[in-house]
A and B are shown apart, each in its own frame.
Chain A
Amino acid sequence: MPDAAASLSVSVWRGGPEAGAFRSFDVPALKNQTVLDVVAWIQRNAEPTLSYRFACRVGMCGSCAMMVNGQPRWTCRTHVRKVAEDGRLEIAPLRNLPVIKDLAVDMDPFFDKWVKAEGVFHSSTDRAADIAPVRPSTPARVAADAGIECINCAVCYAACDSVAANPDYLGPAALNRAWTLLNDAKDSGRVAILDAVSRPGGCTSCHSQGSCERFCPNELSPLTSIAGLKREAAWRFLRKES
């Protein structure tokens, strides 16, 4: 039931990589309304040149993340009533990534770091081989399963102060991916992964602030995955040195 009198006061970041500013809009408040709905309303009714990114609108594609009142959110699944403060919203591009225009950021550094963290599948067989049985109950598979529902939305990357402080830091998402592959019985890249995450900017740059875990929309815990990497990397270091 729309409340005729109510409207939201929304300020939206407009600008390119060099300069920009927040612009304010009054948006009709509805009872059920996501932050992405608000952005779409502004683009359709007030500011046709507003740039932003979205695709699935059901929390699967990971393309619509933005900073909402200073916190990173998947906007398509974030209800306005949960995050608005006195009917006010401040919507900005994701933190820790270069802005292309308005609310769209350049995701390249984010994905480049997945590759740098060896977050890519390392095959050990070919298509002629039999399908390898994977028991879901093994501890390694349980650890991998806990982290595989990542949708690459970069919310954790934007939430992380270690990323902000250290541009070389691979970040929670890439390291979480490295951890799931390390625990994947079909992946043969163990040495490459541990080498990659042991370098400066790897898992040792994490300060366990836990913002990744707090803001992950899929309730994953990159913090736990990175702790796992630290453990594996530390044991390997001790074995190598002794």
Chain B
Amino acid sequence: MIVRPHQGHPLWLAFMLHRISGVALALFLPAHFYVLALALNEPERLEGFFRWADQPLVKIAEFGLVFLLAIHIFGGLRLLALEFLPWSARQKTLAAAAVAFSVFVSTTFLLRAI
């Protein structure tokens, strides 16, 4: 993706992060649901999946997913605040805070994971 000259400012980047994280999460959901649905009839395959997920690379990918979720929810709360509360002057602060919170939450997850 090429960021063009009129793009690349904080609010535009916040928009792009929200869009990319949203699409990625939507694509991840079917896989997530599929694996959990194994629990009913094939619990040993679920357990096998969890063992597979113990690998460091998968752990990092999981961290990425939590990061996407955190990015998306804080970005979304920022949008809701921006649209539904008359807080016009604080948008950039909100955008930055959204990213900071996301990093914090997902790093907590990563530290617990390793």
Contacts and interface: CB of A to CB of B under 8 A. Distances in A.
Q: Touching in the complex, A and B, CB below 8 A?
A: yes
Interface of A: 69-72, 95, 158-159, 161, 207-211, 213-215, 221, 223-224, 227-228, 230-231, 234
Nearest to B95: A210
A208 B15 contact: yes
Interface of B: 4-7, 9-12, 15, 19, 79, 82-84, 86, 88, 91
Given A208-B82, A209-B12, A227-B82, A71 B88 contact: no
Contact of A214 (B4, B11, B83, B86): B11
Chain B binding surface, main DSSP class: helix
B66 to A, nearest CB: 24
Most buried by A among B6, B9, B11, B12: B6
A70 B5 contact: yes
A214 B79 contact: no
A72 B86 CA distance: 28
A224 B11 CA distance: 13
Contacts of B88: 221, 223-224, 227
Chain A binding surface, main DSSP class: helix
A211 B6 contact: yes
A161 B5 contact: no
Given A221-B88, A224-B88, A234-B84, A208 B6 contact: no
B11 A210 contact: yes
Nearest to A229: B83
A210 B5 contact: no
Given A207-B15, A209-B11, A210-B11, A215 B84 contact: no
Contacts of B19: 207
B9 A214 contact: yes
A214 B91 CA distance: 12
Nearest to A234: B84
Given A161-B7, A230-B83, 17 more contacts: A70-B4, A70-B5, A70-B6, A159-B6, A208-B11, A208-B15, A208-B79, A208-B83, A209-B7, A210-B10, A211-B9, A211-B11, A211-B12, A213-B11, A223-B91, A228-B86, A231-B84
Give 10 nearest A-B pairs by CB, closest first. A70-B5, A210-B11, A224-B88, A209-B15, A209-B12, A230-B83, A71-B6, A71-B5, A159-B6, A227-B83
B100 to A, nearest CB: 19
Contacts of B15: 207-210
